[in-house]
């Protein structure tokens, strides 16, 4: 037996559990309750002002969260990767560790802390909690790229007379863009699609897109739920076009 | 000065990141049912957790058991499936390799909710009643790609001639696999297993959509339901604290081991 045939079981598995389910999302999205073809689910979304505003809020929160994570995370990753500023491996572990803890638990802990401090749950706490949840996912890929970066590029720039900030903006930042884009991928989409986190952090005051998908599926409105999921899939497709850097994951996360 | 500012920034971020976790840990040592209300030092909640002497204890403990068991089964299957798949993918022609890698990336890029909803529709479509088995299958689906990606680099680093040499020297394909191939892939398999295990432990959305209505709870879905009812089970505080500690110790051990291995190589 040829060694390449060893991939067959997995290809079959992927077809049944990855491809077929996605095809079913498409099929259900264009069907009505009795299985006839229809565009009604899609048009329902574009005429439903509640759903549209939820969608807009989700995108807005996701963009804000991603931007804040980059602004806070990039300097942190840069410091962590800089041997002169940080020599402790434990600090790096401490930054990565939250990624391994159940997000629900961490979110709940944050929400409870807000409650105890007497802070009303709403948009502000939602953003804070989101940043808190996703910051490690931004820091880690950027740190990884910066850490592996060949130092001779910035040394060369320096030797050729670039000032430190020029070296940073013209050499380090452009070379670290793959890390930033995989960070964006790991922060943006999960923020749009999350449901439990936004429910905890705003006491159900602010709904995100994930929540309406969940509500529809759970109240047996499968077709409309599938249509909403399809819309999310389209957004994922678009955002992966912008950030086509999946190789970063390959080094393994540990 | 620069160093001082950098360090201050890092520690400020760490304080922010860990404040909620420390808060939970501190209040795990008091008996009060309401979080944030200190009624004196006590380890009663820890005792309750271990003796199972509390309200709704059976459901919390069975949720923990389910979580661990599902993660273990899913990680074991994913490691097996993913390793075999990685060997196959490694030997595919460039174009086929690209196609399979693309498929392999889909579950990793898909947000949990899409994986959950799409698998939910699959099980509905196939008329499979949802419960333990569907949750495990769903977990294998999103865990295996990580195993594949952990094992593939090891295959690339491996010298293919070593395997051939073993066969030439009279090893059966089985022996060559056990004694040559697997030992070389083992580090990748181990990190793949650990990744898969933690992915499964962390999961909420996929479990939520594929667990059906038989009342199956993992820790995540338990917490979700508990928090929505209002009033968190106090015993969750010591449980979370213990989980934080276990993960911290595990990560330190893994990283120290890795650093040592790098030095010896």
Distance of CA A151 to the CA centre of its chain: 29
Say which range, A82-91, A166-175, B127-136, has the weakest mean pLDDT. Answer: A82-91
Above 90 in pLDDT, residue B257?
no
Could you report the per-residue pLDDT of B72-128, keeping only the tens digit for each? Answer: 999 999 999 999 999 999 989 989 999 999 999 889 888 889 999 999 999 999 999
Structure confidence at residue A244 (pLDDT): 55
DSSP helix/strand/coil, B234: coil
Beta-bridge mates of residue B30: B41
DSSP helix/strand/coil, A162: coil
Angstrom distances, CA of residue A205 to CA of A126, A177, A201, A211, B125 = 10, 36, 9, 12, 34
B215 Ramachandran zone, left/alpha/beta (phi>0; psi -120 to 50) = left
Q: How many helices (H) and strands (E) does chain B have?
A: 12, 0
Q: Where are the beta strands (DSSP E) in chain B?
A: none
Q: Is the CB of A249 less than 8 angstroms away from the CB of B251?
A: no
Per-residue pLDDT band for B173 (boundaries 50, 70, 90) equals confident
Above 70 in pLDDT, residue A61?
yes
Phi, psi of A150 (to 5 degrees): -70, 115
CB distance from A26 to chain B under 8 Å? no
Could you report the per-residue pLDDT of A97-155, keeping only the tens digit for each? Answer: 887 777 888 888 888 888 888 888 888 889 998 998 899 889 989 998 998 888 888 88
Q: Is the CB of B88 less than 8 angstroms away from the CB of A108?
A: no
Q: What crossing angle do the helices spanning B132-157 and B112-125 adopt, rounded to 10°?
A: 120
Beta-bridge mates of residue A37: A31
Above 50 in pLDDT, residue A69?
yes
Structure tokens that stand for B139 in this block: 């977990």
Angstrom distances, CA of residue A202 to CA of A18, A49, A115, A126, B204 = 33, 21, 11, 6, 19
Above 70 in pLDDT, residue A166?
yes
On chain A, the residues whose CB falls within 8 A of the CB of B89 are 7, 10
CB distance from A189 to chain B under 8 Å? yes
- What's the DSSP call for residue A119? P
Taking residues B27-41, report their average pLDDT. 81
Long-range (24+ apart) CB contacts under 8 A made by B8-16 are: B9/A75, B9/A76, B9/A79, B10/A76, B10/A79, B10/A80, B10/A86, B10/A91, B13/A72, B13/A76, B13/A95, B13/A135, B14/A91, B14/A94, B14/A95, B16/A132
On chain A, the residues whose CB falls within 8 A of the CB of B35 are 112, 115-116
Mean pLDDT of chain A: 85
Beta-bridge mates of residue A31: A37
Question: How many angstroms separate the CA of residue B86 from the nearest CA in chain A?
Answer: 7
Mean pLDDT of chain B: 87
Structure tokens that stand for A40 in this block: 């009604």
Q: Dihedral of the CA atoms A135, B225, B146, A208 (nearest 10)?
A: -50
Say how far apart CA A64 and CA A68 lie, in whole Å.
6
CATH code of the domain made up of A49-253: 1.10.3720.10
Structure tokens that stand for A229 in this block: 């999921």
Residues 55-84 of A with CB under 8 A from B: 72, 75-76, 79-80, 82, 84
Q: What is the ipTM of this complex?
A: 0.85
Could you report the per-residue pLDDT of B204-233, keeping only the tens digit for each? Answer: 999 999 998 888 899 889 888 888 776 678
């Amino acid at each position: 037996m040829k060694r390449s045939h060893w991939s067959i079981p997995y290809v079959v598995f992927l077809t049944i559990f990855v491809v077929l389910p996605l095809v079913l999302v498409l099929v259900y999205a264009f069907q009505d309750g009795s299985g006839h073809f229809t565009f009604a689910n899609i048009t329902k979304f574009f005429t439903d002002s509640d759903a549209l505003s939820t969608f807009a809020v989700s995108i807005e929160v996701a963009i804000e969260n991603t931007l804040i994570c980059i602004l806070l995370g990039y300097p942190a990753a840069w410091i962590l990767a800089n041997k002169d500023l940080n020599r402790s491996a434990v600090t790096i572990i401490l930054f990565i560790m939250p990624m391994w803890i159940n997000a629900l638990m961490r979110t709940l802990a944050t929400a409870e802390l807000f409650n105890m401090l007497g802070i009303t749950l709403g948009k502000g706490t939602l953003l804070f909690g989101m940043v808190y949840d996703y910051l490690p996912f931004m820091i880690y890929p950027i740190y990884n790229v910066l850490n592996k970066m060949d130092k001779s590029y910035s040394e060369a720039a320096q030797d050729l007379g670039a000032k430190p900030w020029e070296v940073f903006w013209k050499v380090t930042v452009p070379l670290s863009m793959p890390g930033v884009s995989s960070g964006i991928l790991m922060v943006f989409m999960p923020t749009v699609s999350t449901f439990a986190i936004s429910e905890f952090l705003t006491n159900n005051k602010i709904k995100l897109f994930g929540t309406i998908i969940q509500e529809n599926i759970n109240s047996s409105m499968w077709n409309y739920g599938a249509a909403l999921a399809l819309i999310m899939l389209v957004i994922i497709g678009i955002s992966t076009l912008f950030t086509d850097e999946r190789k970063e994951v390959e080094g393994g996360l540990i | 000065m620069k160093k001082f500012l950098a360090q201050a920034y890092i520690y400020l971020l760490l304080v922010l990141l860990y404040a909620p976790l420390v808060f939970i840990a501190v209040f795990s040592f008091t008996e009060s049912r309401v979080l944030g209300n200190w009624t004196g030092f006590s380890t009663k909640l820890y005792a309750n957790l271990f003796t199972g002497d509390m309200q709704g204890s059976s459901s919390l403990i069975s949720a923990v058991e389910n979580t661990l068991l599902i993660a273990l089964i899913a990680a074991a299957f994913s490691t097996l499936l993913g390793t075999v798949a990685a060997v196959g993918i490694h030997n595919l022609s460039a174009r086929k390799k690209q196609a399979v890698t693309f498929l392999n990336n889909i579950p990793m890029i898909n947000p949990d909710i899409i994986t959950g909803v799409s698998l939910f529709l699959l099980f509905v479509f196939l008329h499979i009643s949802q419960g333990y088995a569907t949750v495990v299958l769903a977990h294998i689906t999103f865990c295996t790609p990580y195993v594949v990606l952990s094992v593939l680099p090891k295959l690339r680093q491996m010298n293919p001639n070593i395997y051939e040499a073993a066969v030439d020297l009279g090893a059966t394909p089985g022996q060559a696999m056990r004694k040559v191939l697997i030992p070389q892939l083992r580090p990748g398999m181990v990190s793949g297993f650990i990744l898969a295990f933690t992915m499964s432990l962390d999961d909420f959305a996929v479990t939520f959509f594929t667990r059906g209505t038989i009342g199956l709870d993992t820790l995540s879905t338990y917490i979700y339901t508990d928090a929505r009812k209002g009033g968190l089970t106090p015993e969750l505080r010591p449980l979370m604290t213990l989980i934080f500690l276990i993960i911290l110790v595990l990560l330190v051990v893994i990283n120290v081991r890795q650093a040592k291995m790098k030095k010896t190589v």
